[in-house]
Amino acid sequence: MKRQLQLGGKIALWLGIAFTATSILLVLALRWVDPPSSMVISAWERNSGRQAQHQWRPLEQISPHLQMAVIAAEDQKFRDHFGFDFTSMMKALNEDRGRIRGASTISQQTAKNLFLWNGRSYVRKALEAWFTLLMEILWSKERILEVYLNVAEFGEGVYGAQAAARNFYGTSAPYITRWQAGRLAAVLPSPRRMSARYPSAYVRNRTATIVRQMRQLGGTGYLRQL
């Protein structure tokens, strides 16, 4: 029995080392290599039997208004934190009576969309934290924002800034206006329930709030400080 426990411990140790090394190398490679898809996109395609609308665009080809809109809407401390906004997380957890939930930063959302499956569990939260930490260490803030804007879901089967621009506004990612950007950011919490094409009163009001917050953060000049 003792020998079996020792063998099991060694196997667990080597599996842990292998996972750690593999995940570090994967995240490091994605610092320069653009991911062709994500776990969330692949899951949607598998479940729907359809091909997602998704086309990669480098950050310099994505409207700075959209860059600012997602920061204003999703993560106003993006520039300053190291992947986690603990104040917002604790507030959300307390309001939700301790369930596995919290206010996710852009880094956390990127980790979930890119690497993880849908669902809630302590294992998934631990992996989310691990990949978030790796991205913050190995990537620049600009790279995190770039990947996020290319894998975020803006509507049913619509992923990334370019697909959203084409689908909802008949334009390309560089030409998204301030108000269009605000509307896209407004639907991010629930893009399959809310619509950027046919905005509800809530989405219109939320858009106005986001545009105002963009100005309060300093507008697109904020991006030069990342």
Tell me, yes or no, whether 19 and 131 share the same domain.
no
Domain hosting 18: range is: 1-30
User: Are 149 and 164 contacting, i.e. CB atoms less than 8 angstroms apart?
Assistant: no
Checking if the pLDDT of 29 tops 80, the result is: yes
Q: Which of 50-59, 60-69, 85-94, 111-120 has the lowest mean pLDDT?
A: 85-94
Q: Are residues 3 and 60 in the same domain?
A: no
Q: What angle (nearest 5°) sits at the alpha carbon of residue 152, between those of residues 151 and 155?
A: 120
| The predicted structure's pLDDT at residue 13 | 75
Same domain for 171 and 63: yes
Q: What is the pLDDT of residue 91?
A: 52
111 and 137 part of one domain: yes
Please check whether residues 137 and 206 belong to one and the same domain: yes
Question: In terms of domains, do 122 and 204 share one?
Answer: yes
Same-domain check for residues 164 and 177: yes
Mean of pLDDT values over 108-116: 95
What is the pLDDT, as a whole number, of residue 101? 44
pLDDT band at 98; cut points 50, 70, 90: very low
Q: What domain count does the chain have?
A: 2
pLDDT, tens only, 172-198? 999 999 999 999 999 999 999 999 999
CA separation for the pair 58, 51 (Å, rounded): 22
Instruction: Identify the residue with better confidence: 167 or 100.
Output: 167
Q: Is the pLDDT of residue 100 over 50?
A: no
Helical (H) or strand (E) element with 144: helix 141-151
The pLDDT tens digits for 31-40 are 999 999 999 9
pLDDT at 123 over 50: yes
CA distance 62 to 163: 11
Q: What is the mean pLDDT of residues 145-153?
A: 98
Mean pLDDT for the chain? 89
pTM reported for the whole predicted model: 0.89
Within this chain, do residues 18 and 104 fall inside the same structural domain, yes or no? no
Asked if residue 2 and residue 99 are part of one domain, the reply reads no
190: CATH? 1.10.3810.10
Q: Are residues 110 and 212 in the same domain?
A: yes
